[in-house]
Structure 1
Amino acid sequence: MSRTDDQHGPLVDLGRERPQVPARARNLSPIVPRASIAGRALVAVVAIMTFLASITTGTVLLISASASEWQSEVASEITIQVRPAPGRDIDRDTAAVTEAMRAQSGIIEIRPFTKDESAKLLEPWLGSGLSLDDLPVPRVIVARVQPGTALDLAALRRRVSAASPSASVDDHRAWIERMRSMTGATVIAGIGILALVIVATIISVSFATRGAMAANRPIVEVLHFVGAGDRYIANRFLRHFLRLGLQGGVIGGGIAMLMFGFSESIAGWFSGTPVGDQFVALLGTFSLRPSGYLVLAAQAVLIAAITAWASRRTLFATLDDIE
């Protein structure tokens, strides 16, 4: 018997009594810790970025939808102003212009405003109780155009001028152009904010990936020593960061969707107030369409994919430095 046997006793072969460890048990412990402080911080950053991106996209969609409704409503109406002129009866001129408009093809509804109704249009600027008898307040006639009809504005203007020389036709083209400019500027601003959010996400993910690689550098070196390739190591990190990106995207996008879902109810609380009326005039009912929610969900998945892509690029660059 050897000295080792004298000190520790004889060796015993356990045989079948040896503890059997499943082959998959060696893979249960991930290379990158899942519940690390850096991982939670990255989830929070991705969630905040996704929330900001979703709010921006949702607001752009709301403004675009409201602007489209404004443009369709304004484009479907034509306003005629009949101004007082010396030696002419404004009531007779208004009736003559109304009859001339009824003879125009493509116009389905005509509404001449009375003197009192025309005066009420000026109350927001001049106040109520003011006598407008001595002021040259024009009469307003609103005509609704049949949708899809190409109206001959030149012929309409000639017909209106023949009925009353002091009448003028306004087809609201200037307002429509302003709405289009405002909508375009809003979309461009939204795209700019989304670009900044994506850049900030890429930078955050890159720093988080380098930090995770630095913290697990000994493990990566051992994996290299036993023959693991860069692709094998990168896939382990890639799954980790893709999972974190999906978690952050679901949290941020979900909170944004809930906010838009409850926004219509919240807007109802302020209905009838000046602030509520302004928001309704600007953003409509402040509720997204179903297609808008699909856009927000796709955006959350896109940010998660960007997170995985940024981590992959950083991973291979870091692995080259380790080697």
Structure 2
Amino acid sequence: MFKRPSDIPFARDTSAWFLPWMVMLMVFFAGLTTAGTLSLNSMLSRWSRSISGSLTVQVIPIEEDGRINKRKTQQEMEDVLDILRKTAGIASAKALTDSQMKNLLKPWLGESFLLEDLPMPHLIDVQLLPDAEVDLEMLRTLLAQKTPNASLDVHKLWLGKLIKLVRTLDFLASALLSMVIVTTSVIVIYVTCSSLAVHKPVIELLHQTGAHDGYISKQYAQRTALLASVGAIVGFLGVLPIIYLLSSVASEVQGGLLSEARFDAASWGLLCLVPVLAVVLSTLTAYWTVQKTLRRML
């Protein structure tokens, strides 16, 4: 009986045309928030894997009369290595070579610098046995007693602070996404109710000719899905160049946290769900709003 695409003259309803703009903005902000959250968690995951089960010991060069005593410094390095290799739970302890130190400093100091001109401590990379429980306090005390120029850097301490920061940002991102969802729903409800008020005579006529609430709700849902899809696609396309720009900047950084913030296939898949979910949310909200309003209206 009702074979036309729409029996309701939506073209006369100008209030619905700002819906794509609002959905576009919501998808844009939600996309940026999601991309930032995924990048932060990717960075944290990569760093956790790279430094898990490891420690770092630094040995300050010994100075005498304003000059570094290389012989005593080297002897202290040997003493530290001996202590570390005798400690239960430690798999290996190796002093970083000059070339390795230069590679660590290169992202910040560039290529043209002499390591000998810098008052840099000597670093020792310590790898722990799998599932080993090392008494770090005892090791720190032992190093302080026998090698006063050595200090133990436990990665878990600052990594724990980093994890806390990322978790806080995750919470803020979730709160922002919740606000986006609520705002989108309110906008769809407002637009749908306004349209129902404008087209009330037509809807009453459709009811008199045999149209049921589900039929009218379906037409509104289809119309909302079309408008929301346009806005969602434009909003999503606006996010892509920003992600590309930030990814390009991050890829140029050699070393540091920023270089680990990457977007993998799973992250892209989750990001692509943002516009889809925005359209689904808008469509279902419009359908539910029409159903509920018609029960009160007619």
Q: TM-score range by the shorter chain?
A: 0.7 to 0.9
After TM superposition, give the deviation of residue 180 of structure 1 in Å: 0.8
Specify whether residues 74 and 109 from structure 1 end up closer, same or farther in structure 2 by C-alpha distance, changes over 3 A only. Answer: same
After TM superposition, give the deviation of residue 80 of structure 1 in Å: 2.0
1:231 is aligned to 214
Specify whether residues 238 and 109 from structure 1 end up closer, same or farther in structure 2 by C-alpha distance, changes over 3 A only. Answer: same
Matches within 5 A, 1:72-221: 72-82=49-59, 89-104=72-87, 106-111=90-95, 139-145=121-127, 148-154=130-136, 156-157=139-140, 160=143, 163-164=146-147, 167-221=150-204
Letter in 2 for 1:216: H
Query: Which is higher, the Rg of structure 1 or of structure 2?
Result: 1
2:290 is aligned to 315
Letter in 2 for 1:225: Q
After TM superposition, give the deviation of residue 81 of structure 1 in Å: 3.7
1:44 is aligned to 21
After TM superposition, give the deviation of residue 198 of structure 1 in Å: 0.7
1:296 is aligned to 271
Q: Which moved more, 1:185-194 or 1:60-69?
A: 60-69
After TM superposition, give the deviation of residue 32 of structure 1 in Å: 4.7
Deviations 1:119-173 (A, max 9, x none): x98xx9xxx99xx99xxx8944321425845252347557646753554422122
Determine the C-alpha separation between the residues in 1 that align with 2:45 and 2:59: 29
Determine the C-alpha separation between the residues in 2 that align with 1:171 and 1:266: 30
Letter in 1 for 2:24: A
Specify whether residues 190 and 219 from structure 1 end up closer, same or farther in structure 2 by C-alpha distance, changes over 3 A only. Answer: same
SS in 1 for 2:95: strand
Determine the C-alpha separation between the residues in 2 that align with 1:147 and 1:47: 52
1:55 is aligned to 32
Kept in 1, the 8 Å contact 2:81–2:93? The answer is no
Determine the C-alpha separation between the residues in 2 that align with 1:225 and 1:282: 66
Deviations 1:233-277 (A, max 9, x none): 111111211222233222222332343245434656xx4xxxxx5
1:68 aligns with 2:52: no
After TM superposition, give the deviation of residue 69 of structure 1 in Å: 2.4
Determine the C-alpha separation between the residues in 1 that align with 2:174 and 2:85: 46
Letter in 1 for 2:297: I
Determine the C-alpha separation between the residues in 2 that align with 1:163 and 1:109: 17
Unaligned runs of 5+ in 1: 1-22, 272-276
Determine the C-alpha separation between the residues in 1 that align with 2:159 and 2:250: 27
Specify whether residues 91 and 35 from structure 1 end up closer, same or farther in structure 2 by C-alpha distance, changes over 3 A only. Answer: farther
Determine the C-alpha separation between the residues in 1 that align with 2:35 and 2:260: 13
Specify whether residues 161 and 107 from structure 1 end up closer, same or farther in structure 2 by C-alpha distance, changes over 3 A only. Answer: farther
Q: Which moved more, 1:145-154 or 1:56-65?
A: 145-154
Q: Percent identity?
A: 21
Higher relative contact order (CA 8 A, sep 6+): 2
Q: Give RMSD over aligned pairs.
A: 3.6
Specify whether residues 29 and 319 from structure 1 end up closer, same or farther in structure 2 by C-alpha distance, changes over 3 A only. Answer: closer
Kept in 1, the 8 Å contact 2:84–2:93? The answer is no
TM-score normalised over the length of structure 2: 0.77
Specify whether residues 100 and 59 from structure 1 end up closer, same or farther in structure 2 by C-alpha distance, changes over 3 A only. Answer: same
Specify whether residues 62 and 186 from structure 1 end up closer, same or farther in structure 2 by C-alpha distance, changes over 3 A only. Answer: same
2:68 is aligned to none
